[in-house]
Amino acid sequence: MINFLIARIFQIPISLVIILCITFFLIHAAPGDPVASLAGDFVTAEYRDLIIKHYELDKPLPIQALIYFKNIITGDFGNSYYFKDSVLNVIGSRIIPTLLLVIPSVVISSSLGIYLGFLSARSNSVSSRISLPVSTIVITSIPTFWLGYLLIFIFSIQLNIFPINGITNARYSYEGLYYYADVAFHLFLPLLTMVLSQLAQVILLLRLKLMYEIRLPYFITAKAKGLSYEEAIVSHSLQNAILPVITVIGNRFSFLITGSILTETVFAWPGLGRLMIQAIEVRDYPLVLGILFILSVIVMVLNLLTDLVYTMVDPRITFKSHG
């Protein structure tokens, strides 16, 4: 177990170097440069050269890569061309709103999804067997941005309860506790959008696995020894059925860190997804690479955690090396 952990942790920096190498050359290979977005229009040739020189973009690509990696080792991610600020500062200001959206949405959608999936597998009634899966599929099939508009239309325009977008009220600047209340208030609709768009996957996956499990011989045995249908599911089947669900939840987390772009755009939420798109559009190379770096670390750590959770849930899975 310990050996496995050490090996896995050592893999992380190696993977990071590979990821950064590939993305460094890919982003520089994309046509275009940061000049047009930095200078505006009406640029002269010498001004163009000035910008290119200033950001050392005139050096050969391998040299640029060497400089970049040398700086990375010392913890210097460089300065964003567009924001004229250190890459870590820029990312730092945008990662909190993203986590605020992603963590609760994954937690809520998976716990709710597990509960509802369990409900729908447990009962034989039409409502839970058919209508629950069908309705969740319908909701999940709605494109995220449209679902966002729909919720804005219902809750902000018609009912006039929640704000249309933003993270705080711009007209009044709150402080202290009121500030947090204001943020929570603004969080509601984007969070609901994210939860609804993820819910079906967990429900349907768990339901499918449970339906499979209850047909296996051990389930009949469990019932034969006197357990009720529900008791048998809770104490025996759920553990088996939940494994793929854990994988899905782990993947969700990683995906959503930047995958919430549509929700962030519709609700003008100042998150990392929007930052990423903007950084790519203006060819802000240090910022793109910085975001990818942070993102890769998060994904790898989450994968590791997912694997650890596996061993806890299913004792059959161990990390002993074979042979």
Partner 1 sequence: MKIFTVIILFLIPFTVFAEKTLVLATSSDPGHLNPGITTGYNVHVFADSIYSGLIMLDKNLQPEPDLAESWSISDDAKNFTFNIRKNAKWHDGKPVTSEDVKYTFENVLFKYHSRTKSGLGKQVKAILTPDPNKVVFQLKSSYSPMITRLNVTEAPILPKHIFSPGNPNDHPANLKPVGSGPFVFKKYNKGESVELIKNKNFYLEGSPHFDRLVIRIIPDSVTQLLALESGDVDYIDRVPGSELKRLQNNSAITIARNTAGPGGGNCIVTITYNLDRDKTSNLEVRKAIAHAVDRDRMVKQVLFGLGRVATAPINKGISWAHVENALQEYDFNPQKAEGLLDQAGYQRKNDGVRMDLDIVHFPRFSKYIEAMKQDLAKVGIKLISRALDRSAAVSTIFGKRDFDLNLISYCNGADPDIGVKRMYVSSNIGNIPFSNGAAYRNLLIDSLFDEAGKTADTNMRAAKYKNIQNILADDLPYWWLVERQFLTAHNSKLKGFRSWSGNFALKAK
Is 58 a binding residue for partner 1 by CB under 8 A? The answer is no
- Contact, 98 vs 260, CB < 8 A? yes
The residue count for binding partner 1 (CB under 8 A) is 65
Cα dihedral 211, 213, 214, 216 sign? positive
Among residues 196 and 210, whose Cβ is nearest to partner 1? Answer: 196
Which token pair is 222? Answer: 């469990």
Is 281 a binding residue for partner 1 by CB under 8 A? The answer is yes
Stretches 27-35, 66-74, 133-141, 303-311: which one binds partner 1 (CB under 8 A)?
27-35
Exposure of 55 by Cβ count < 10 A (0-12 exposed, 13-18 middle, 19+ buried)? Answer: buried
Dist CA 269 CA 262 (whole Å): 10
CA 25 from chain centre, in angstroms, equals 25
Dist CA 48 CA 70 (whole Å): 27
Task: Specify the 3-state DSSP secondary structure of 79.
Answer: strand
CB of 120 to partner 1, least distance (A): 34
Distance of CA 215 to CAs 127, 232, 262, Å? 21, 12, 41
CB of 17 to partner 1, least distance (A): 27
Give the per-residue contact string, 129-168, with partner 1 (x = CB under 8 A; - = no): --------------------x--x---xx--xxxxxxxxx
Q: What is the DSSP letter of 235?
A: I
Is 99 a binding residue for partner 1 by CB under 8 A? The answer is no
Among residues 45 and 312, whose Cβ is nearest to partner 1? Answer: 45
User: Using CB under 8 A, which of 5, 6, 17, 47 touches partner 1?
Assistant: 47
Dist CA 184 CA 53 (whole Å): 45
User: Using CB under 8 A, which of 32, 70, 137, 212 touches partner 1?
Assistant: 32
**Contacts with partner 1, residue ranges (CB under 8 A):** 30-45, 47-48, 50, 54, 79-80, 82-85, 90, 93-94, 97, 149, 152, 156-157, 160-174, 178, 181-182, 185, 265-268, 270-271, 274-275, 278, 281-283
